[in-house]
A and B are shown apart, each in its own frame.
Chain A
Amino acid sequence: MLGLEGQDIRQSNFGWSPVYVDSNLGVLSIGFMLPDPDEAVIWRGPRKKGLIKNFLKEVYWNELDFLVVDSPPGTSDEHISIVQCLGATGMDGAIIVTTPQQVSLIDVRKEINFCKKVGVKVLGVVENMSGLSQPVMDFKFVRMTETGEHIDVSEWVREYFKEKAPELQDLIACSEVFDSSSGGAEKMCREMGVPFLGKVPLDPQICKAAEEGRSCFIDQKCGVGAPALKIIIEKLIENNEFSRVLLNNAYAS
């Protein structure tokens, strides 16, 4: 997702070097250590714990304003290990990502309670895949026959719009996809007393950016997803007074 596939970790006398995207964005992952990316890593808990500890002991990050730790889903070995190892040095908190479905929210409540139990502040919850928003003209249009078959009528529909209803052409069509009539993550956050950072819609362009290892903020392609993410990240910075870090950096440069 950072466009670093196939890269290796180098060692210096300071320790393991992160793999750099830019001079100010370094990445470390077991992904860089696998000779064959298709090879399954079939490790039990203790061995995973050992690697996480090694990452924390051996990697030379130099000076960082932020260390972002991406963990797997759940509340098991990796999560216990990272909290035990990093806790003493101070963790600002955790952001929890979910989708709107009730089954996802059930597990988010567990994550929130995990954080409470181990003393990690919940910086907030992000509701991802929060509906699909896409320009109407980017859809395919299908007619279903009596026999249940699907016939692609996209060309015809586009011609039709162009001729008879040009003003409909630049509409955005939205579908909720995952039912959030029970209130979604926002309501759950109110109930659990944690901040709700915002919603990110399903944006095919964000998926593309992720696949291609690009930032979604650089060009205008992620028209729906990028603004949503931006609002969320700014809210996170504001809520936790990280703004001072930005100001310091602005003066420093």
Chain B
Amino acid sequence: MVSDQKPLGSWSVKQGQIITCPAVCNFQTREYIVVHDNKVLRIWNNEDVNLDKVFKATLSAEVYRILSVQGTEPLVLFKEGAVRGLEALLADPQQKIETVISDEEVIKWTKFFIVFRHPVLIFITEKHGNYFAYVQMFNSRILTKYTLLLGQDENSVIESFTASVDRKFISLMSLSSDGCIYETLIPIRPTDPEKNQTLVRSLLLKAVVSGNTRNGVALTALDQDHIAVLGSPQAASKECLSVWNIKFQTLQTSKELPQGTSGQLWYYGENLFMLHGKSLTVIPYKCEVSSLAGALGKLKHGQDPGTHVMPRFVNWETPQGCGLGFQNSEQSRRILRRRKIEVSLQPEVPPSKQLLSTIMEDSEKHIEVEVRKFLALKQTPDFHTVIGDTVTGLLERCKAEPSFYPRNCLMQLIQTHVLSYSLCPDLMEIALIKKDVQLLQLCLQQFPDIPESVTCACLKIFLSIGDDSLQETDVSMESVFDYSNSVHDEKMEEQTEILQNGFSPEEDKCSNCDQELNKKPQDETKESTSCPVVPKRAALLNAILHSAYSETFLLPHLKDIPAQHITLFLKYLYFLYLKCSENATMTLPGIHPPTLNQIMDWICLLLDANFTVVVMMPEAKRLLINLYKLVKSQISVYSELNKIEVSFRELQKLNQEKNNRGLYSIEVLELF
């Protein structure tokens, strides 16, 4: 309340004169401007006492509003829609003012912005229940007219407007008599200023105020995520100031105003100003950066009979929200908005609803067609939620009807990149039951959050599934390079390996096992350098190698894998290691091959988990000897690297000493 504050200045017009336009401050000259009797302009400053004696200019047309923002000269908006800069107007007060808007069209609301240092004026007019928006650009002196389409609710009356501006759009928010807030995006740069363009509005917040209050409804945008609304939330309740988070659709805070308000609300410098009873109330309000945690909790569900069941999946990229701060999501939202402006609003049954109902009863084939149709549309705002709901629906039906398994659909849905394990844990469970390795591979590639137990279950299937059943599947072979082609001269190969590791195995080979290895027949050597698994299995195992895991959680599950499968996997890993050491960069060929670190980590993991079992198996003996050698060679590599590092550090130290500027110098410093 500002009742106990002392006013800094107070001026009044003579009796009989009526102030017809709110006084504004000209920030450039620190003067005040007011209009009385529609046409008489008064300009004064703090020193002036009597309003009657200050500068006066009588204009030739009636003024609607004077608009002033910091950093530019004030504008005068006439009732007929014409706009003049104050300076130009004062130079010739009696100049002719043209008529811009048609007869019976009345200006309802106006706002003045600075966009890219250029003033932009927007005003809304109404004629017979139709609303029009005019955007006046002052750098190009273009006036663009738009017709506002009210959408489904044609006969609602707009009670209050507010607008905010970003780089490309003016976001015009309107509070309708049905109590909902709608948003209309008006492009700042018109595409075709000549044509009369139409704008559609989209629902932003539902039932914010009761529809049938007649007085004291107002809204104002606080920042891009928050709006303040003045009005009674329910028909009978007292009037209220509420701050809504439009990003999360939640009520941030609210305050009752029992003495009633007049439907006027301003936000200036982190303070909300409103009339409450007979006094001016100032409420400091600072918008915190909207976070979900901060937004939760104030809105009670069920308060609004119109809301339907909350969707299970929250879509962070829908237009009500304002992007999560990612550049690309923001961009996509803009595209979305633009589409929405262009597409005329004739909503049929939304495709998503149709899809969901299809899932529940139709045949697999039909569902597939519908899903494909929906995915082709792709850019619907609730894309994420629909995908989530679809998968859940499909999986529920899978569980209920064992014969139902819409494999192709699921594959397509996974490939949308919007699913994760935690969104639909049943998906991998069902795939594991069906032994659908292709789907499992896809999941391993796409989902970032697969638990170690599931990874391990996948591994078990990948290792145990028969080669013949693998032949029928269509797994992605991206990560597998055709190793069979690369088997060239063996001697050559071995030699490169030695060279790359920077040490000669002759020096520190365990003589015993080495002899044994040398003794081995030629074909056995071949065996170790040809891939121990078929390419399709290799592709599946590579998917496992790429998956994320935590050692502690993975180890216990690895113990459950049968010993012969462990040896097979180890053989494969050993084979990959040999392939890795073939080239200088220690990488495998192919598009997305496993890295050396992944291979080494998995060898260690498998041995840690199953060493006691593997060591007892006679057929694994040579493999273990090979692995022993491998580890030894790795240790040597690392010790060499450590040696090199020390040498480099010494060099660095020498270099630093050179750069050291000595202990004493006299320098020149200039402070600006």
Answer yes or no: do A and B interact. no
